[in-house]
Chain A
Amino acid sequence: GENVEQHPSTLSVQEGDSAVIKCTYSDSASNYFPWYKQELGKRPQLIIDIRSNVGEKKDQRIAVTLNKTAKHFSLHITETQPEDSAVYFCAASSNDYKLSFGAGTTVTVRA
């Protein structure tokens, strides 16, 4: 099955700086890569996703890049704000009806 590794496990950034989270996956057939944000005590919610036919996707301060050859993808958050503090999960799926998640990154934005 798919194995998704996520780094770092914790990330502390100064407000206004950028944050980058990296994930690697094992199954070359994977073609869908979503990112979920989970605030403390809340449910995970999709913030952005990318498919294998696209190399980069942006949504305001959030961007995701995908390198299929190297089997890795990254989440970039620019101009971080206190409300960006949360746990972020990457995931991958090859449409075998399973979605595999990384272990999560706890992001803390320091004021």
Chain B
Amino acid sequence: NAGVTQTPKFQVLKTGQSMTLQCAQDMNHEYMSWYRQDPGMGLRLIHYSVGAGITDQGEVPNGYNVSRSTTEDFPLRLLSAAPSQTSVYFCASSPSGPLETQYFGPGTRLLVL
């Protein structure tokens, strides 16, 4: 099993550009989530999904969209990138929810100029 994978590893964007961060898991997990990690602020939840076709907002959802068309994939879309979205983004998954081990992907480092 590859576990949780994320692409790309690193991306540079210009302000106003859009892009999609990819996340996939091969463990048949129902629960998937996206976090951003900024210095001194820990991991903040952006969006989460409890299963295919079901998504909801986390703590910091503004400027991001998600969809969950399959159990395996949970892409994060930046609609119009802003410098404030410069961060490291982690995708995570677990069998059914937050009350169990979260398996994190390797992260995507995003720089918005």
Contacts and interface: CB of A to CB of B under 8 A. Distances in A.
Bound together: yes
Interface of A: 1, 4, 6, 9, 31-32, 34, 36, 42-46, 49, 89, 91, 93, 95, 97-104
Using C-beta atoms within 8 Å of the partner chain, give the interface range for chain B.
Answer: 20 to 34
Given A9-B40, A32-B98, A93-B98, A99 B45 contact: yes
B102 interface: yes
Given A9-B40, A103-B42, A95 B97 contact: yes
A99 B58 CA distance: 9
B101 interface: yes
Contacts, number: 59
Nearest to B106: A43
B58 to A, nearest CB: 6
B59 A103 contact: no
A28 to B, nearest CB: 16
Contacts of A42: 106
B13 to A, nearest CB: 21
Interface centre among A9, A32, A46, A98 (most CB of B within 10 A): A98
A46 B97 contact: no
A101 B42 contact: yes
A9 B40 CA distance: 8
B75 interface: no
